[in-house]
Structure 1
Amino acid sequence: MESKNLVICDPETKFASAFAQYLTRQKELAVRVRTCSDFSYVLAIQEKEKIDFLFISSEYPEDSRKQVKAGMVFVIAPEREVALENREVPIYKYQPGDQILAEMIRQCSMSGDEKQIFLKITGKKNCKVIAVYSPVRRIGKTTYAIRLGRKLAKEANVLYLGMETYGGEGGHFPEGTQTLADVLYYARQEQSNIGTVLTTIVRHSENLDYIVPMPVSEDIKEIDSEEWIRLIQKIIEQSIYEIVILDMDEGVRDIYRVLRICNEIHMLTIDEPVAEAKVAQFEAELELLGYEDVRRKIIRKEQRT
């Protein structure tokens, strides 16, 4: 799929650079981003190729902006209310990049062009789902899951989902306005495309993409296994991710059913009698309840004490 041309023109070069960096980190977007602080550069680009999306400062007068025949024009303004001509879309400058991108996607969806700005995923390889779980407590499970994700993300598109009762928002993960709870909400909507939703919600840790965990532990406990499975299936079918890592504990209802859809289960343990007893009980319970297939997917990962 040919990338769309997106140009950011703003005298405030720090803003243009920061927004451009944010856009280029969104792996799903099929856009080529360029920045400038001189309006003449926009006209020079237009002479050579079509500009599909133009983000331009309101400091440039309307007569100048009319010279650009871009597919969509977003006017970046320092105030929330600004009078523009019909074809222009106002964008409040001092807001997070994900909110600016969300407005761009909304405008594209209104014109029927939403899919044109995303990479096609029809040729994606089979997605691998890896669960990181342990019946042993305080064993460094989340640290292991993140390190694993960063390692795998060097060669593939990887998404980390923190599904623990206490996901540690503000610890491993900075606090965010949108969390895994928002992703689940959108996944419930029949018409939503989860790949589009993730574009505006995912954050990055080196090459690893992640979603900020839910801030309220009771919310995790209320979600049944079917909803988790539907979400994971949507991510597999509608996003660019080739690997999804699930960081789980017993807060996930019917956890064995969720583990069943995983390709691998990395089970952390330590060489210590109590820990070994817990692992043995867990594996025995899997067989007792008819989850032998889950037990066969377990890969033990012994941690140093």
Structure 2
Amino acid sequence: MNTGILAICDNDSEYVSRLANYIRNRHGTVFRVISFTRVEALKEYLKKESITIALISPELMFENIENENIQNIIILSSGTVSLEYETYPAVYKYQSTENILQKISDCYRRDNQVEEVKVLGKAAQIIGIYSPACNEENTVFSITLGAMLARKSSVLYINLEEFSVFEKLLNTRCAKDLSDLMYYFRQSRESVAIRLHTVICRYKDMDYIPPLLYSEDLRKIKTEEWINLIKKISELGLYDRIIVDTGNMVENIFELLDICDKVYMPVNTGWINTMKASVYEEFLLKSEKEELLEKTKKIFIPEISTESFSENYLENQLEGKLGAVIKKELEEVA
């Protein structure tokens, strides 16, 4: 496995421990994290080993450190940085961990010359969510499915809908979204593993990439690009399952669904929606898309009420009738 060595060096042992554990738990497949609270221990390590990135406080810097086997040095600052270290990039230590990781990521892929990060683990199962019948309910179904799967496995949720209500349902807004990850991917496919963690947010035990804010961005991205990005994330082995919640704004929805290992088609019990689902299945047969039809599972879901939205709305779906339907399906395929 070709991962970078990230050394966190600071004399505050409690701070070092918290930061190191966070990165190990969330991004341990990208960096092997080591930590030092004493200069002597750091020097001893460098006699035999190398460090990809040293995130180091001024107190642990030492003479001629630039000549040591350290590829990148980032000053972990608690305030202003003295003139002797002004040639090094610096990051303020008392800020969000994700902001610190963004700085690490920028440094790691400096000049776009970074080797592809390969991780252990098999490729993720890709689960597509698509329905011509009840698109407005797809997202609630997808989130509930993802949250339930995430209880026992690592899950990443990706939303490709136009005007997605995803973040409205979660009542949150993250700093970056899917358009940022696509931008990074277009710059360097090899950097996805280290860029991914700067974009993902979390709902319960499920990671998710916030959907695009502007629908125009979605319209401009080719299906092939989506396929390549999703496949790349899957091949990293960071997740057991990737849920792709998609609508009709993807240029060629069938090409996207073809890469999925399984496709769920939520359908409520209304007769019009049931008829739409049947017309869709007939289309797949007439278009010689039998393979896609075979891996598509139609799930009849209870009516999802949207009249009384509250902060407990998603929790109620998870523990209510919809959750029961999904739980039964997961038990049958287990």
Per the normalisation by structure 1, the TM-score is 0.78
Say if 1:105 and 1:114, in contact at 8 Å, map to a contact too.
no
1:70-110 per-position Cα deviation (integer Å, ceiling 9, x unaligned): 83543223557753337854223465433322322333445
Structure 1 stretch displaced more, 156-165 or 188-197: 188-197
Distance 1:250 1:112 in 2: 34
Q: Deviations over 1:266-286 (max 9, x none)?
A: 111122212211111111222
- 1:215 is the counterpart of 2:208: no
Query: What does 1:22-171 align with in structure 2 at a 5 Å threshold?
Result: 22-24=22-24, 25-32=26-33, 34=35, 41-43=37-39, 45-46=41-42, 49=45, 52=51, 54-58=54-58, 60=59, 65-66=61-62, 71=70, 73-78=73-78, 83-85=83-85, 88-93=88-93, 95-110=95-110, 120-121=118-119, 123-137=120-134, 140-167=137-164, 168-171=166-169
Distance 2:107 2:185 in 1: 21
C-alpha distance in structure 2 between counterparts of 1:215 and 1:94, whole Å:
29
Q: Deviations over 1:129-162 (max 9, x none)?
A: 1101222236632232223223333444322101
C-alpha displacement of 1:44: 6.5
With over 3 angstroms needed to count, the CA separation of the structure-2 counterparts of 1:125 and 1:281, relative to structure 1, is: same
Equivalent pair of 1:132/1:247 in contact (CA under 8 Å):
yes
- After superposition, the Cα gap between the structure-2 partners of 1:145 and 1:75, relative to the gap in structure 1 and judged at 3 Å, is same
Q: CA deviation at 1:182?
A: 1.2
Contiguous gaps of at least 5 residues in structure 2: 304-334
Percent identity, aligned pairs only, is 24
* Pairs within 5 Å for 1:236-247: 236-238=234-236, 240-247=238-245
CA distance in structure 2 between the partners assigned to 1:44 and 1:163 by the alignment: 51
- Shift of residue 216 of structure 1? 1.0
Task: From 302, 305, 309, give the equivalent of 1:304.
Answer: 302
Match of 2:196 in 1: 198
Cα deviation digits, residues 279-302 of structure 1 (max 9, x gap)? 111112222333222111111222
| In 1: Cα distance, 2:114 partner to 2:171 partner | 30
| Alignment check: 8 A CA contact 2:155 2:243 kept | yes
Alpha-carbon distance, 1:191 to partner = 5.3
Q: Identify if the C-alpha distance between structure 1 residues 42 and 148 changes in structure 2 by more than 3 Å, giving closer, same or farther.
A: farther
Q: State the alpha-carbon separation in 2 of the partners of residues 27 and 196 from structure 1.
A: 11
Are the aligned partners of 1:132 and 1:248 in contact in 2 as well (CA < 8 Å)? yes
Check whether the contact 1:11–1:57 (CA below 8 A) recurs between aligned residues.
Answer: no
What is the distance in 2 between the residues matched to 1:78 and 1:54?
Answer: 16
Q: CA deviation at 1:250?
A: 1.4
Q: Distance in 2 between matches of 1:10 and 1:165?
A: 48
**Higher normalized helix content (fraction of residues):** 2
Q: Secondary structure at the match of 1:233?
A: helix
TM-score (norm 2): 0.72
Relative to structure 1, the CA distance from residue 139 to residue 165 in structure 2 (aligned partners, 3 Å threshold; closer, same or farther) is closer
**Alignment CA distance shift 1:201-1:84 (3 Å):** farther
CA distance in 2, matches of 1:85, 1:229: 44
CA distance in 1, matches of 2:299, 2:162: 22
Equivalent in the alignment of 1:38 = none
> Is contact 1:75-1:91 (8 Å) kept?
yes
Q: Distance between the aligned counterparts of 2:19 and 2:269, measured in 1?
A: 48
Aligned counterparts of 2:231 and 2:273: Cα–Cα separation in 1: 33
Distance 1:236 1:263 in 2: 11
The one-letter code of the counterpart of 1:153 is: A
What stretches of structure 1 of length at least 5 have no aligned partner? 36-40
Instruction: Determine the C-alpha separation between the residues in 2 that align with 1:284 and 1:80.
Output: 67
Partners of 2:17 and 2:113 in 1: how far apart? 26
Aligned residues: 292
Question: What whole-Å deviation, never above 9, does each CA across 1:2-25 have from its counterpart, x for those lacking one?
Answer: 984633526596x65764454232
| 1:186/1:192 contact within 8 Å kept | no
CA 96–115 in structure 1, closer or farther in 2 if over 3 Å, else same: farther
Which SS does the other structure have where 1:213 is aligned? coil
Q: Is the 8 A contact 1:169 1:215 kept in 2?
A: no
